[in-house]
Every structure is written in structure tokens, then in C-alpha cells.
Amino acid sequence: MSQNFFKSTRKIIGAGVNYKEVLRITNATKPENPVIFFKPISSLISTDENTIKVPKVFGAINYEAELGVVIGKSCKDVTPDQALSYVAGYCLALDMTGMDFILGARPKGLPWCLGKGFDTSTPVSRLITPEEIGNPSDVRVWCMVNDQLKQDDSTRNLIFSIPELISYTSKYMTLEENDLILTGTPAGAGPVKHGDVIECGLSDIVQMKYHVKDE
């Protein structure tokens, strides 16, 4: 397992609406099961690249800072109790989102994957080991845009826990080494455009900084 784990990633699995505060401020009801979507692996970039590109088809894109879970060994249909034994480590991720596309598609019942799949839409940090992160279910996830704090919450406020996300997804498909699960974003996600600077982090364990530029 190298620091560049994502070069071998074969699936990026995202969880939507997974922080209690997001439910509260949107007056939404708690989903019965995790809301799961995919992102293409071509959307991944490392911190060696420092630019998130806004596709020409989108006016603005949203930042979503998230804790990522990196699978360490193949698993299928695991229980929540078993789930963490299949985790190699964690990462900081941004789940950049073409929100206008999603808001346009969702009410019509149309798929919204194009709003999640554009190039550079999944920046990830280095791999963080389980020892380094300590308790993954109490990690601060924060995000600043142009030096203003926009997101700040803890993974203890997830609706579906990390073991539950792994267990639920593994009922449907085999999770493989280096697969990445994005655990959802805290309240405060919002749009960025050309010229903005995003800085985000997990507690004081790891940070990333990206410049937003038009494609």
C-alpha cells in the first residue's frame, strides 16, 4: 500500500446526505439506507496537482470536504462489526460537484453522474494509516474558501457510520483493495469559481490546498 494508493483505485463510492446537520438545515428526513453514488477514477487528482478545473459546461462547482476510507483487502457482504478490519487507511478528499446539473436532473428522476464525474473533481491526500488517524469516527473535517471557514464538523456526526457504509455497499458488490469510499460532506458546502482558493483538512493530520480555474 503506497502513499499513492489512488493510482490503483478501481472504484470511487460516494455517500450523499450523511451529516446530521445537513438533514437538519434542509429539513430532510433521514434516508432509510445510505445514499450511494459512483465517481469515475479519471476524476482523481493528487496534491501534486494544485488546480481544480471548472468544466466549461458548469458556471460554478461546489466544494465538499470529506473523510475518505481506503479499502485494504477484498471483501463482500461483511457485517459492520467486521468492516474496519478491511480498511487500509484514510484520506482527505474533495468531492467537487456540478450542483446545477444535479439540481436540474434530480427532480426529473434523471441520473446526475455527470455532475460528479468531471476531470479533477476528486482531489485526494496521501494515505493516512489507521494508527495515525486514531478514531476515524471522531475526526474534524474542515474547509476554507479564500481564508473563510465554510465547513467544520466531526465524523462523529455522520448519519451512517464508516462500518455501516462499508457493510451496506459490500452487500451489492465486492470492495477491492484501494477502492475509495467518500463518507459525505458536512453542512456548509457551496459554490466556488475561477480564482477561488480551497483549503481543507482532517483535524491537524493532513491538509490540501487547491486553486480553482476555468477549464
Instruction: Provide the H-helix boundaries in the chain.
Output: 20-26, 80-83, 99-105, 130-133, 162-170
Please classify residue 93 by burial: count the beta carbons closer than 10 Å to its beta carbon, then call 0-12 exposed, 13-18 middle and 19+ buried: buried
Total interface residues for Mg ion by CB under 5 A: 3
183 binds Mg ion (CB under 5 A): no
Distance CA 199, CA 171 (A): 35
178 binds Mg ion (CB under 5 A): no
95 binds Mg ion (CB under 5 A): yes
185 binds Mg ion (CB under 5 A): yes
Of residues 18, 21, 37, the one with CA closest to residue 180 = 37
Q: Which is nearer to Mg ion, 64 or 196 (CB)?
A: 64
64 binds Mg ion (CB under 5 A): yes
Q: What is the DSSP letter of 70?
A: E
Least gap, CB of 36 to Mg ion (angstroms): 11
153 binds Mg ion (CB under 5 A): no
Choose the stretch contacting Mg ion; rule: CB under 5 A; options: 3-11, 32-40, 64-72, 161-169: 64-72
Q: Which is nearer to Mg ion, 63 or 195 (CB)?
A: 63
What is each CA distance from 158 to 81, 85, 185, in whole angstroms?
A: 17, 20, 9
List contacts with Mg ion (CB under 5 A): 64, 95, 185
